[in-house]
Amino acid sequence: MNKTYNIIWNAARGMYIVTSELARSGSRAIVSVSASCAVTLLAMDAAPAVAEETRVSIPTQTTTYTLSGATPFVVETGNTVATDTATSAAIVGDNSNDWDLLIESGAVVGSSLTDSQAMNLDSLTGATSVHNQGTITGSNEDGTILLQNGGSVINDARIENSATYEHDPEDIPQEYAGVYMLNGGSYVSSESGVLEGVSGVIVQSGEAHITNGGMINSDGYWRSYGVEFRDGTYGTIVNTGTIITTASDGSGKIEDAAIYVHTLNDMAVSGSVSVDNSGLMQSDFITVALYYGSHFEVVNRAGGVITAGNSSLVGIKSTAMELK
């Protein structure tokens, strides 16, 4: 690990400031830690490499694989874990444990069957983790990946929901997201990560943190959201990559947003969401739509682009709003 750390004492904070050089952009990341943590960090960097943790290999199969036990799992390069039964999930984990899954490059989880799902994961304490380096695919209303009780998705490759949203005359919300969080969680994408679906990420409740360095590409035909926070959810969205939403059914009525924070019944709630953009956020309709929450903050940094095709840039019905 060729990392360089510089330690500077900050008397005002009463702690060391540790700076590390990042090869990705040449920029400097600054992290505040205690004196003991700084010493530990350098000691760890100098320590010999530790052997990788043993993982249970999930073989190629066409029936649902049910996770069991505390050992981490891996779908290895060349393996495909799918299900030949519509509406079923390829990999299922209940709430008896926190699950740890690695999908290697060249591996596939999920299938193109109508309403199929790649992963349906509950979690004991919310520490479930999915690290994708391959392809995760599905077309289920409840998301290609469903996190029932928190957890994290790290995406270095491709996650997709291939369903098509058609105009619902009663405006009933649909999911069809790449990642659907029932009770909070996190989504982190590197520059190589691609997330596609009618919606990218949907958060139904709880606290969620979205960090996108890659591409979130949502195409809903009529209704489409890059990141959707519902019913008093709260958290952060940091975009250094691209979030693009497209929705057009030919009727002229479209409703899409790169970022959409709202309640399903249009009632005021205590949700609080901050958006930090230094990448591209683009929509056919409203790029950032914030409705019925206690506090919203949108920061568009140098180099950041927020652009809308049809309507206002930011739609607001909120008790407090900051645009920076």
* Burial grade of 269 (CB within 10 A; 0-12, 13-18, 19 or more): middle
> How far is it, in rounded angstroms, from Cα 315 to Cα 18?
39
pLDDT tens, position by position, 47-88: 555 556 799 999 999 999 999 999 999 999 999 999 988 889
Please give the pLDDT value at position 251. 53
Residue 37's pLDDT band, with cuts at 50, 70 and 90, is very low
Residue type present at position 308: A
Mean pLDDT of the chain: 81
> How far is it, in rounded angstroms, from Cα 193 to Cα 213?
7
pLDDT tens, position by position, 176-201: 899 999 999 999 999 999 999 989 99
Count of beta carbons in the 10 Å neighbourhood of residue 103? 30
pLDDT tens, position by position, 210-228: 999 999 999 876 778 999 9
State yes or no: pLDDT of 4 exceeds 50.
no
State yes or no: pLDDT of 236 exceeds 80.
yes
